[in-house]
């Protein structure tokens, strides 16, 4: 609907470099170009009444058909994803899953949404970027594209850097510091300056567990924790409940 919205975020920085290096390409389609009437009408009143307008099925089906026709390898499975607040909740895991496909088609809704037949007979997947409602699917599509593209091999400078990210392993990342070692009287944790890699790795792992426990305890339930991690969770939980009961008494 509004292809211009995509210009700015994808014309700079990491994404632009990825496009220039041929690691990814982004093709924008305006469903208005798939209408056959003089005024290029893409929406209409909802059957049964009610407020707002609904995107008509024909231009959406026709645009996706023409995209499909342009993809040479017909054998590959092509996800056709509708952005909708009713879809499955987007996550790093879904980003990883989508990053394995050679092509993705993302459909951005507008107004009140899209004729239900698009969902029933055209899309293979529906994604929501969160439990709130936006005016159009462009920002959600950009969120999905950004999260997927940074996982593609070669897109981030150091290959390993996306593996450490929050959520990559199902947990939150450890805190990061850079120079200066002391800023405004606040020092970087001693261990990070020690040059002792084993100690640093241990400290980071503890921070990962501690942060996740404090901020998103439900993530720990799903995570793949080693024995040491589990012991740490137990120690921290006991410490926390002692702290709470000391405060109450």
Q: Is 120 in the site for ligand SAH (CB under 6 A)?
A: no
Q: How far is the CB of 153 from ligand SAH (least distance, A)?
A: 27
Q: How far is the CB of 2 from ligand SAH (least distance, A)?
A: 11
Which residue is catalytic, options 62, 125, 165, 173? 165
Handedness of CA 150, 220, 206, 187 (dihedral sign): positive
- The smaller minimum CB distance to ligand SAH, of residues 130 and 180, is found at 130
Q: Is 64 in the site for ligand SAH (CB under 6 A)?
A: no
DSSP structural state of residue 224:
-
Q: 150 catalytic, yes or no?
A: yes
Handedness of CA 112, 114, 117, 121 (dihedral sign): negative
- The smaller minimum CB distance to ligand SAH, of residues 83 and 232, is found at 83
Q: Which residue is nearest to ligand SAH (CB)?
A: 109
Q: 77 catalytic, yes or no?
A: no
Q: 85 catalytic, yes or no?
A: yes
Q: Angle of helix 197-215 relative to helix 227-248, nearest 10 degrees?
A: 50
What are the start-end ranges of the E strands in the chain? Answer: 43-44, 54-55, 80-89, 105-108, 125-128, 182-183, 186-187
Q: Is 126 in the site for ligand SAH (CB under 6 A)?
A: no
Applying the rule CB under 6 A, the residues between 65 and 104 that interact with ligand SAH are: 83-86
Handedness of CA 215, 84, 123, 104 (dihedral sign): negative
Which residue is catalytic, options 32, 119, 150, 204? 150
Q: 112 catalytic, yes or no?
A: yes
DSSP structural state of residue 189:
P
User: Rounded distance, CA 78 to CA 25, Å?
Assistant: 15
Q: Is 132 in the site for ligand SAH (CB under 6 A)?
A: yes
Q: How many other C-beta atoms can be found within 10 angstroms of the C-beta atom of residue 1?
A: 18
Would you give the binding string for ligand SAH spanning residues 169-188, x where CB under 6 A is met? --------------------
Question: Known catalytic residues?
Answer: 85, 112, 150, 165
Binding site for ligand SAH (CB under 6 A): 83-86, 108-110, 112-114, 128-130, 132-134, 136-137, 140
């Amino acid at each position: 609907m509004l292809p211009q919205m995509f210009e700015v975020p994808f014309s700079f920085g990491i994404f632009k470099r990825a496009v220039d290096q041929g690691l990814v390409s982004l093709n924008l389609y305006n469903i208005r170009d798939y209408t056959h009437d003089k005024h290029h009408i893409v929406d209409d009143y909802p059957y049964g009444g009610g407020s707002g307008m609904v995107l008509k099925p024909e231009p959406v089906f026709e645009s996706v058909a023409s995209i499909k026709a342009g993809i040479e390898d017909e054998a590959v499975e092509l996800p056709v994803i509708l952005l909708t607040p009713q879809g499955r909740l987007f996550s790093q895991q879904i980003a990883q899953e989508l990053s394995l496909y050679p092509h993705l088609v993302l459909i951005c809704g507008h107004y009140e949404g899209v004729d239900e037949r698009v969902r029933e007979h055209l899309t293979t997947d529906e994604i929501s970027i969160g439990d709130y409602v936006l005016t159009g699917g462009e920002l959600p599509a950009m969120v999905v594209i950004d999260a997927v593209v940074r996982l593609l091999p070669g897109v981030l400078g150091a290959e390993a850097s996306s593996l450490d990210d929050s959520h990559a392993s199902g947990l939150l990342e450890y805190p990061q510091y850079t120079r200066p070692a002391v800023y405004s009287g606040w020092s970087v944790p001693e261990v990070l300056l020690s040059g002792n890699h084993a100690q640093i790795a241990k400290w980071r792992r503890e921070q990962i567990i501690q942060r996740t426990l404090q901020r998103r305890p439900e993530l720990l339930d799903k995570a793949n924790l080693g024995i040491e991690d589990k012991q740490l969770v137990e120690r921290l939980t006991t410490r926390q409940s002692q702290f709470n009961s000391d405060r109450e008494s």
